[in-house]
C-alpha cells in the first residue's frame, strides 16, 4: 500500500433522520464540536475547512457559532458528492503542505418526500419536469430493471439488501430507521418505481458529519487510533454512461463514473479490491448497492445474486457492506451522506462500532458515493 | 378557444402532420444527441446541426412512475394521478431517448420490444390549452 500522507484524527456526527428542533446548520455545528472533542483540539486550532450542504445553506456561516477565528473556509457544492468533494479538497490541502490540521464537514435538511428537482439548475428544460421525468427514483428503477434482466438478479435479492440495512441500523444509535423489516414486508410495500418498492428506497433526510484531518506524521499528537486516508477520488461521467436525470443516452453503452473512480482510487492506494475488509457503497435504493458491488470491482456482474443470498455482505460475512445501515436506513442528507460512510469506516477500523463491529480486526475499508448528474466519489481508509 | 400546444418549442416539429423529435448531430464525429444543443459531448466539437430523429426504436429499459411527482416541477394532474410508464427507447442507429410510455402495465412492457413515436396530452395549461408531449408506444403487430 502507498505511504499515507493524511490521517483522520477526529470524527463527529449528528444523528440522522428528523430533528425538528435543530436547523441543518445547527446539526453541522453539533457534529463539528463532537469531532473537536474526539481529537482533543480547540476550534481555534483548526486551520482550514471545506464544507457544504445542498438544501440547508452555506457551510461557512457556521463560523458565527463555532467562533470567528479567521480560518480559511471554502463552501463546496457538488450534488451527492458534496461530502466526498469536501473530503477530497481537505485531503489535498494537507497533502500539498499548505496546512496541517483541517476540517471536512457536511450537513443537510431536506423537505419530506422525494427530492424536488430544479430542472433549470440541473441544466434541463422545463418540459422535462412538467411531463414528469425529473424524478431520481425513475432512473434507479430503470437501471436496476435492465440490470436484473441482463444479470439474473432476483426481486428477493433486492429485498435482502433492504432487510440487511434495517437490521444493521438497529445497532446504530445515529441511524434513522432502526426497526428491522421482513423481506415480505419490503416486497409488499408500495411499488414506487418498478421494480423498486417503498422500503427499497432511501429518503432525503437530515444529519451532519464532521471529520478532522491532519498530516499523517503528526496524527499521534491527536489520537491513539489514527485512520489513514490512502485514497480520495472524485470523477464525473464519460460518453456512454447511464446517468440520473438524462433526457438522452449515447447509442453506445459505456462504464459509469463509479468504475473510473474506483480504478483511480485503487491505483492511488496501491492495492486492489481483494485487500478491502469492508465497504460502504451508495445505496440510494437496494438495486444500487447490488450494482455498485460490481462497478467498484468487488465481484463480477451477476455474482451478487449468489453473494447476497449466501449472506456474504452481512456484518459477519466475508465482505460486509453498509454496516451502519447505509442510505436505506440513515436517509440521504446530501451534504452529509458521503462523510457518514467515512465516519462509519473510521469507527470500524478503530474497533469502536459496538454491536455492529465487523469481526476479525478489519484493517482496510472503502467508501463510495454516486449521484446526479453522474458523479462518483471513493475513499480508501486504513489503520 | 382552447387549442393544442407543444410542451416546448423546438423539442419536436409542431404543428405538423408527421411530427418528429428534434435532436442534434455532430458534423465532426456523427454523434446524435437529444434535444437540440450546441456542442458535442463525445468529441467536444461545437460543430453541430439540428436533426429530425427516427420514429421507431427498441425499448432499452423502463419503469412505472407509481406515485404523484412533486408539483412543481410536475404540471400534470396530481389529485387524479394515474401511474405512467417511463423508459429509454433506442431509436434505431441514432440515440436513446428518455420518454413517457403510453402504457403502464408491467406485464405488457419488455426490454427489447419495438416501439413507435406518439404524441399525447400531458396536461392543461393556465389558458385552457391542451399541452402535447411525445411518448412511445409498443408497435401493434
Output the 3-class SS for chain B: CCCEEECCECCECCCCCCCCEEEEEECCCCCEECCCCCCCCCCCCCCEEEEECCCEEEEEEEEEECCCCCCCCCCCCCCCCCCEEEEEEEECCCEEEEEEECCCCCCCCCCCCEEEEEEEEEEECCCCCEEEEEEEEECCC
Structural domain contains residue A220 = yes
Task: Round to whole Å and give the CA distance between A266 and A81.
Answer: 18
B26 phi, psi to nearest 5 deg: -80, 125
A192: chain B residues, CB-CB within 8 Å: 66-67
User: CA quadruple A85, A88, A94, A95: dihedral positive or negative?
Assistant: negative
Cell triple for A383: 489503520
CB contact under 8 A, B84 and A192: no
Report the CATH number at residue A314: 3.40.47.10
**A32-36, A115-119, A225-229, A329-333: which range is least confident on average?**
A115-119
CA B86 to chain centre: 10
Name residues 60-119 of chain B within 8 A of A (Cβ).
Answer: 60-67, 69-70, 72-76, 84, 86-88, 90, 93-98, 100, 106, 111
Q: Which of the four pLDDT bands, split at 50, 70 and 90, describes residue B1?
A: low
A142: chain B residues, CB-CB within 8 Å: 61-63, 86-88
- Taking one residue from A and the other from B, the number of pairs with CB-CB distance under 8 angstroms is 123
Mean pLDDT, range A241-265, rounded to an integer: 95
| pLDDT tens-digit series, residues A1-55 | 888 999 999 999 999 999 999 999 999 999 999 999 999 999 999 999 999 999 9
Cβ of A130 under 8 Å from any chain B Cβ? yes
Q: A222 with A10: CB under 8 angstroms? A: yes
A201: chain B residues, CB-CB within 8 Å: none
What pLDDT is attached to residue A353? 98
Q: A233 with A366: CB under 8 angstroms? A: no
What pLDDT is attached to residue B83? 97
A153: chain B residues, CB-CB within 8 Å: none
Q: A369 with A340: CB under 8 angstroms? A: no
Structural domain contains residue A192 = no
Structural domain contains residue A83 = yes
Cβ of B23 under 8 Å from any chain A Cβ? yes
Mean pLDDT, range A95-100, rounded to an integer: 97
0.90 exceeded by the pTM?
Answer: yes
Mean pLDDT, range A244-255, rounded to an integer: 94
What pLDDT is attached to residue A79? 83
Structural domain contains residue A88 = yes
B96: chain A residues, CB-CB within 8 Å: 248-251
Q: Which of the four pLDDT bands, split at 50, 70 and 90, describes residue A119?
A: confident
CB contact under 8 A, B65 and A143: no
Residue of B32, B87, B37 whose CA lies nearest to B54: B32
Q: Residue A131 pLDDT > 90, yes or no?
A: yes
CB contact under 8 A, A247 and B98: yes
How high is the mean pLDDT of chain A? 96
Structural domain contains residue A184 = no
Q: How many domains does chain A divide into?
A: 1
What pLDDT is attached to residue A112? 81
CB contact under 8 A, B98 and A132: no
A117: chain B residues, CB-CB within 8 Å: 73
Q: B73 with A119: CB under 8 angstroms? A: yes
Structural domain contains residue A131 = no
Q: How far is A253 from chain B (nearest CA, A)?
A: 10
User: Domain ranges in chain B?
Assistant: 55-138
| pLDDT tens-digit series, residues A299-344 | 999 999 999 999 999 999 999 999 999 999 999 999 999 999 999 9
What percentage of chain A has pLDDT greater than the value 90? 91
Which residue's entry shows cell 408531449?
A: B133
Domain interval for residue A310: 6-113+201-382
Mean pLDDT, range B87-104, rounded to an integer: 98
ipTM attached to this prediction: 0.96
Q: Which of A116, A127, A239 sits opposite B7 (nearest CB)?
A: A127
Mean pLDDT, range A286-297, rounded to an integer: 98
Amino acid at each position: 500500500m502507498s505511504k499515507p500522507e493524511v490521517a483522520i484524527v477526529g470524527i463527529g456526527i449528528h444523528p440522522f433522520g428528523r430533528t425538528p428542533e435543530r436547523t441543518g446548520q445547527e446539526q453541522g455545528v453539533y457534529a463539528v464540536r463532537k469531532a473537536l472533542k474526539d481529537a482533543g483540539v480547540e476550534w481555534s486550532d483548526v486551520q482550514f475547512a471545506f464544507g457544504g450542504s445542498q438544501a440547508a445553506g452555506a457551510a461557512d456561516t457556521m463560523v458565527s457559532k463555532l467562533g470567528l477565528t479567521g480560518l480559511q473556509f471554502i463552501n463546496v457544492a457538488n450534488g451527492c458528492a458534496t461530502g466526498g468533494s469536501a473530503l477530497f479538497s481537505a485531503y489535498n490541502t494537507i497533502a500539498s503542505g499548505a496546512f496541517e490540521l483541517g476540517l471536512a464537514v457536511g450537513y443537510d435538511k431536506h423537505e419530506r418526500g422525494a427530492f424536488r428537482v430544479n430542472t433549470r439548475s440541473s441544466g434541463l428544460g422545463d418540459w422535462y419536469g412538467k411531463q414528469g421525468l425529473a424524478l431520481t427514483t425513475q432512473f434507479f428503477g430503470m437501471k436496476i430493471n435492465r440490470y436484473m434482466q441482463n444479470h439474473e438478479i432476483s426481486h428477493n435479492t433486492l429485498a435482502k439488501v433492504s432487510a440487511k440495512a434495517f437490521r444493521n441500523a438497529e445497532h446504530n444509535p445515529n441511524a434513522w430507521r432502526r426497526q428491522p423489516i421482513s423481506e415480505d414486508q419490503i416486497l409488499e410495500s408500495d411499488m414506487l418505481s418498478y421494480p423498486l418498492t417503498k422500503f427499497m428506497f432511501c429518503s432525503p433526510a437530515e444529519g451532519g458529519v464532521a471529520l478532522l484531518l491532519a498530516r499523517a506524521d503528526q496524527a499521534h499528537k491527536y489520537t491513539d487510533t489514527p485512520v489513514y486516508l490512502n485514497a480520495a477520488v472524485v470523477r464525473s461521467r464519460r460518453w456512454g454512461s447511464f446517468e440520473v436525470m438524462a433526457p438522452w443516452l449515447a447509442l453506445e453503452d459505456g462504464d459509469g463514473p463509479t468504475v473510473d473512480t474506483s480504478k483511480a482510487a485503487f491505483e492511488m492506494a496501491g492495492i486492489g479490491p481483494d485487500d478491502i475488509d469492508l465497504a460502504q457503497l451508495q445505496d440510494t435504493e437496494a438495486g444500487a448497492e447490488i450494482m455498485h458491488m460490481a462497478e467498484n470491482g468487488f465481484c463480477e456482474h451477476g455474482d451478487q445474486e449468489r453473494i447476497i443470498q449466501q449472506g456474504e455482505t452481512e456484518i459477519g460475512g466475508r465482505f460486509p457492506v453498509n454496516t451502519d445501515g447505509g442510505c436505506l436506513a440513515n436517509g440521504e442528507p446530501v451534504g452529509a451522506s458521503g462523510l457518514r460512510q467515512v465516519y462509519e469506516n473510521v469507527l470500524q477500523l478503530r474497533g469502536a462500532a459496538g454491536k455492529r463491529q465487523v469481526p476479525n480486526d478489519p484493517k482496510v475499508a472503502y467508501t463510495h458515493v454516486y449521484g446526479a448528474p453522474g458523479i462518483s466519489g471513493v475513499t480508501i481508509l486504513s489503520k | 378557444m382552447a387549442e393544442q400546444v407543444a410542451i416546448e418549442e423546438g423539442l419536436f416539429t409542431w404543428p405538423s402532420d408527421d411530427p418528429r423529435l428534434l435532436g442534434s448531430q455532430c458534423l465532426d464525429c456523427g454523434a446524435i444527441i437529444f434535444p437540440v444543443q450546441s456542442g458535442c459531448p463525445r468529441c467536444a466539437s461545437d460543430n453541430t446541426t439540428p436533426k429530425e430523429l427516427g420514429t421507431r426504436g427498441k425499448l432499452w429499459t423502463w419503469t412505472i412512475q407509481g406515485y404523484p411527482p412533486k408539483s412543481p416541477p410536475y404540471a400534470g394532474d396530481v389529485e387524479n394521478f394515474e401511474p405512467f410508464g417511463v423508459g429509454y427507447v433506442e431509436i434505431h442507429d441514432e440515440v436513446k431517448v428518455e420518454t413517457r410510455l403510453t402504457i403502464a402495465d408491467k406485464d405488457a412492457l419488455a426490454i427489447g420490444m419495438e416501439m413507435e413515436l406518439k404524441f399525447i396530452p400531458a396536461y392543461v395549461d393556465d389558458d385552457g390549452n391542451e399541452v402535447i408531449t411525445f411518448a412511445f408506444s409498443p408497435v401493434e403487430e
